[in-house]
Amino acid sequence: MPRRQAIAAREDMVGSTGDGSNAMWGGRFAEGPAAVMREINASIPFDKRLWRQDVAGSKAHVAMLGAQGIVSAEDAATIAAGLDSVAADYAANGVAEDLALEDIHMQTEAKLARLIGPVAGRLHTARSRNDQVATDFRLWVRDAIDQVLAALAGFQAALLARADEHAASVMPGFTHLQSAQPVTLGHHLMAYHAMIARDAGRFADARARMNRSPLGSAALAGTGFPIDRAMTARALGFDGPMTNSLDGVSDRDFAIEYLTCATQTALHLSRLAEEFVLWASQPFGFVALSDQWSTGSSIMPQKRNPDAAELVRGHSGRIMGCMTALMVTMKGLPLAYSKDMQDDKPPVFEAHDLLALSIAAMTGMVESATFRTDRMRRTAEAGFATATDLADWLVREGGLPFREAHHVTGRAVKLAEGRGVALDALPIADLKAIDARIDERVYGVLSVDASVASRTSFGGTAPDNVRAAIRAARGE
């Protein structure tokens, strides 16, 4: 298609803007942008999510301008009231996607000008879109972290409730997906609680680190107006202003750190999701997911698919991709602002939405799952999971070096496997034939209940330990 026809076709798709000139750009440009340029340049389709933060930042800025006498008190009050009206309209009707106005900042200023007239033009005094977007985005990410922390607290509460319920429910612990040693389901769930606690700590650390205001950095060099950056920082809940104006407008560490925290959390959620997928399969049969978190098959009526868990597992890859995308965008950018940085928001928004869905889904699955502890126990009993207990007993009671005890235990496992019985079903005579130092006391450690009860070291799986860990997590 010839170039003129292609541009005309794009005009039809994105719509015309009259003469195309952009009042926000001033007199520098005699002609408007091509349709394709308008579309690639506009961020309003995604950064409209920042409208609350944009209004809040603008209100803090104009209040400071008024307090400093940079604009009159009357104009400051008029602008503040106008911003309240803009916010009310956004809340009621949403944000229109006018590509000619590019982004949420120009959209808001244009809307304000229609409401209050030329006085709206004073709002942008001593401010650039560079520090404006840096402030808005930082505020949004801070709010996003607060939402994630609340969701993770709910997920942890669900884990604690089910762990308390199953503090003594025996299940096989695995290494290499092979039955290793018996543990309790409560202990297993508390492992995820510990992971999520670290995730919450990472988000909290990131929030504290990002809580500095870029507002007042202006385009990159600061401003000659007598602004009070500490005032706007306080008004927006920041701990103070950022110390370098170049860093203020060009920093996106906070967004990358949010994505790294989100990625680590998603990996933990994915591991539990994978276990639910395995446990819900017929060969395991450890869990039955509720109808709320399962789907059926279009052709096989007997199927009960753990689709929610599989999607959480899949979302982790997408969230990791979002982190990588922003890192690659930022890795080669010189100071201060480049238009590439407009692409900082879509990966953060996408990751946040996916993470919120994943946390909610895993919380629902944990809360509603039916754990088949009878099947778990039978599997633990069938897998020679107490072999290490026999070896430990030989060391403790028989005085054997552990390597020799390991060899003796291996012979006992081989005998039990050949007969198709558990270790505690072997007659004492057969055990003594393997090693004469074994006596009847050994049966006190060969059952799965005795095994888990004996694991009393700090952090171990003994039911009393699990209950103590739950109490500590609840702050009791």
Q: Which residues belong to the active site?
A: 176, 297
Helix (H) / strand (E) containing 252: none
50 within 8 A of 140, measured Cβ to Cβ: yes
Q: Residue type for 373, please?
A: T
168 within 8 A of 436, measured Cβ to Cβ: no
What is the tally of helices (H) and strands (E) in the chain? 20, 4
What length does the chain have?
476
Token pair 């609340």 is found at 150
Phi/psi at 182 (5° precision): -70, 140
Rounded to whole angstroms, the Cα distance separating 409 from 191 reads 29
Computed over its alpha carbons, how large is the radius of gyration of the chain? Answer: 31
342 within 8 A of 349, measured Cβ to Cβ: no
3-state SS track over 88-140: HHHHHHCCCCCHHHCCHHHHHHHHHHHHHHHHHHHHHCCCCHHHHHHHHHHHH
C-beta neighbour count of 401 within 10 angstroms: 10
Token pair recorded at residue 390: 């026999």
Rounded to whole angstroms, the Cα distance separating 276 from 233 reads 45
Rounded to whole angstroms, the Cα distance separating 134 from 92 reads 26
Token pair recorded at residue 206: 């990131």
135 within 8 A of 128, measured Cβ to Cβ: no
Rounded to whole angstroms, the Cα distance separating 351 from 357 reads 10
